[in-house]
Structure 1
Amino acid sequence: MKLVKNIQNIARKVLINEADAIRQLSTFINDEFASCVQAILQIRGRVIVTGIGKSAIIANKIVATLNSTGTPAIFMHAADAIHGDLGMVQKDDIVICLSKSGETPEIKVLVPLIKRTGAPLVALVSNIESFLARQADYVLNATIGEEACTLNLAPTTSTTAALALGDALAICLLELRNFDSRDFARFHPGGSLGKQLYLKVDDIMVNNEVPVVRLDTPLKDVIIEISSKRLGATAVVDTEGILQGIVTDGDLRRYLQKGADVVDANAAQLMSPGPRTIEKGEYAVRALHLMQQNSISQVIVIEEGKVCGFVHLHDLLKEGII
C-alpha cells in the first residue's frame, strides 16, 4: 500500500509541476509574441520549425498542428540542416528554432547560417539570455522553474511548455485567418473527424431504398413495404406526397398488442405523426445527433416536405461517424 501511495504522489507531483509551468507561460505572452504572430501571417513562404533531441520531437508536433490549422509548415532537423537540409530555407520563410538552453553546439552553428538566408528567426527558448535568444528576431519565452524529473535533467516540463506555446501560436494564427470547420474538413478528409465535417445525408441515403406508403395503404401492404425495404420503418405520405407520419416495427407491434382491428386497418391508423426529419443537404452528423437525442434508429430525409430518403443508424456506423 505504501508503494502505491508513493507512485501516486510522484505522478501528481509531475502533473502539478507541468501544469504550474504552463500557467506561468501565460504571463510571458507579450507584444513580442503578438509581433511574431503578425510576422508569420505576413510571410509568403512557410514556417520552418527546427530543433535537436527532444526539442526536435516537439518541433514535429508543432509543424503538424500548424499544417492542420491552415499555416503551411515543415520540419527541419537542426543536425541535418548543417549537412545539406538548410537548402529548404528560403528568404520568404520564417524559422522557429526550439531549444531549452539556446546554447547547444548544433544550434550555435545553425543560427548564423539561418540568418544568412534572410529568413526571420524565432527563438522558442527557456533561456532568454542565451545565444539563440540574442540572435533571434523574435523570442517566445518558454522559461520554466525546473523539470519534473527529480534530477532536473530529463526534458519533461520544458518540452511540455514548448508544446503548449506552439499550440498557442497555432491557434492565434487559426483565429486570425478565420479558419473555420469547412477549412478544417479540407485538411482532415480521412477518418471519423473528417466525415463529420463534410459527409452529408445525401451521400448516405442513396444506399437505401425509400419505403413509402399512402395514408390509406392497408396493414398488409404496410408490413410488406417495411420488410422489403429493410429499414424497420416506412414513411407515410398524403396524395400530394407530403410526409404525414412514420410506421415502425414498434408501431406495428403496439397496434397488434392492443387487439385492434387488423382487417380494415391502414397506415393512417398505424402511424406516429410528426416523425423526426432532416433536410436534404444537411450534414450526416446532424442526423446522428437527432437519433441520439430521440433514441431512434432512423431519420427521414425531406425536401420541401416530401420524402427523399432514409438515413439509418447502421449507415452512420458503416461510415465510421460513430
Structure 2
Amino acid sequence: MSASSPSENVINAAPAAVDVLAIGRQVLREEAAALHDVADALAATPDFVNCVQAILQLKGRVVVTGIGKSAHIAGKIVATLNSTGTPALFMHAADAIHGDLGMIQPEDFVVAISKSGDTPEIKVLVPLLRRKGVPLAALVSNADSYLAQQATYVLHAPVTKEACPNNLAPTTSTTAALALGDALAVCLLESRQFSAADFARLHPGGTLGKRLYLKVGDLSRQNQRPQVAENAPLRDVLLEISGKRLGATAVLDAAGQLAGIITDGDLRRMLGSFSDLEKLRARDILTPHPATIDVEDFAAEALVRMQLRNITQLVVTEEGQFAGFIHLHDLLREGLV
C-alpha cells in the first residue's frame, strides 16, 4: 500500500476545533485595513491619475495579464472594464510567450498584475512588451520589484500580510488588486459619463438587463385592455373584469378620458355596501384618480409603484390617454420580482 501524500493527510484529518466566527471576522478586518492602505497609496504618486488619463486617450484596448491567482483577478477586471465602456482583453502571462502576445496591437495598453512583481513569467514577458512599445501599468504590492521598475505606471497595492495564517495563500493581495481594478474601472466610467442607458445596452440579458431596458409598454401591449363606460351596468363590469383576466377594468367618461378604475376587490367590497345591485353603474363604484404609469417608463419602476401602494396592477397611459394595464404577473414572468 502506497503512503498517503501530505495533502491527503490534511484533507482526511479531523477538523480542528476553531472559533469560525472570530476567524471570519478577523479575515474581513485585515482585508478591509489593507484596502485603506491601498487608498492611501493612490495619493503618494500621480501614476494612478496619469494611468486613467492615458487609457481615456487610448485608441486601442486595455490588455490585462497575470499568472496564478492574479490571472483570475485580471479576468474579472477585464469583465468589469468591458461592461462599463472600456474595451479590454485578458492575456494569461504564461500563454503570452507561447503565441498569445500576438493579440497586443501597437495602440493597446497593458496592465500586468503581480503581487511580487518578480515572478519568472513576468520577467520573461516584460522585455517582450517593451519591444512592442505599448504603455505598461504594473499593479503590484512590491513597488520596488522588477515589474514596477520597468513599468510606465505603477498602481501600488501595498499588502504587508496575507489573511492566510501561513501568509501564503493569496487572499489580502488578491482583494487589494481586485479593488484597485474596480477603482480604475469606475474612474474611467465616470470620466466617460457612462450612463445607466449605456450600461443597459451592454447588459441586455438576464434580470439586470431587463431592469435597465424593459419598458412598461413592452409588457402592457401584450395584455388585453379592459374598459367600460361610466354608465355601464354592474353585469358589464363583471364580465369585463373576468373576461380580460387582469383583475380590474378602466372606467372611461363620455370623452374617452380615464375616470377611474374598478378592481375585483372593489366588487367584493361593494356587495356589502349596496342593496339594489341592479341599479348600480360603473361610476357608482369606481375609484377615481388611480395609480398610473406611462408606456415609456421602465418596468422596474412599475414594480416600485405597486410595492409602495400594495397593489397588483397599474393603469398604463400613453400621451395622457388610457393605454391598458400592467400587472404584477407580467413582472413576475419577466423575473423582475
Q: Same fold (TM over 0.5)?
A: yes
1:59-208 alignment, distance < 5 Å: 59-208=74-223
Matched-pair contact (CA < 8 Å) for 1:243–1:305: no
Please say which of residues 260-269 and 135-144 is displaced more in the overlay.
260-269
The letter for the 2-side match of 1:223 is L
What is the Cα deviation at residue 12 of structure 1?
1.3
SS at match of 2:20: helix
1:47 aligns with 2:62: yes
Determine whether 1:255 maps to 2:270.
yes
| Contact 1:212 1:237 survives alignment (8 Å) | yes
Structure 2 match to 1:218: 233
Pick from 30, 33, 37: which aligns with 1:20?
Answer: 33
Q: Deviations over 1:65-113 (max 9, x none)?
A: 0000100001000000001000011110000000000000000000000
- 2: CA distance, partners of 1:304 / 1:92: 49
In the other structure, the counterpart of 2:316 is: 301
2:211 is the counterpart of 1:228: no
Q: Distance in 1 between matches of 2:275 and 2:194?
A: 58
Structure 1, residues 268-315: CA drift from partner, whole Å, max 9, x if none? Answer: 011111100012211111111110110010011112432111100000
Q: How much has 1:63 moved relative to structure 2? A: 0.3
SS in 2 for 1:184: helix
Asked whether 1:287 is paired with 2:296, we answer no
Instruction: Specify every segment of 5 or more residues in structure 1 that has no aligned partner in the other structure, as ranges.
Output: none
Provide, for residues 202-241 of structure 1, a one-character-per-residue CA deviation record: whole Å limited to 9, x for no partner: 1101211000001100001100010110001000010111
- Residue 10, structure 1, aligned to residue 23, structure 2: yes
- Give yes or no for contact 1:62–1:163 (8 Å, CA) kept in 2: yes
Distance 1:4 1:16 in 2: 22
- Aligned-residue RMSD, C-alpha: 1.0
Deviation >4 Å, runs of 4+: none
The answer for unaligned runs of 5 or more in structure 2 is 1-15
Q: Which residue of 1 aligns with 2:5?
A: none
TM-score when scaled to structure 1? 0.98
AA of the residue aligned to 2:39: S
302-311 vs 282-291, which moves further: 302-311
Tell me, what secondary structure is at the counterpart of 1:96?
A: strand
Give the paired residue count: 320
**How far apart, CA to CA, are the structure 2 residues paired with 1:123 and 1:293?**
49
CA 1:4–1:191: 2 relative to 1, 3 Å: farther
Match of 1:155, SS?
coil
Q: Is the 8 A contact 1:90 1:118 kept in 2?
A: no
SS of the residue 1:153 aligns to = coil
For the residue of structure 2 that corresponds to 1:231, the secondary structure is coil
Separation of aligned partners in 2, 1:305 and 1:33: 50
TM-score by length of 2: 0.93
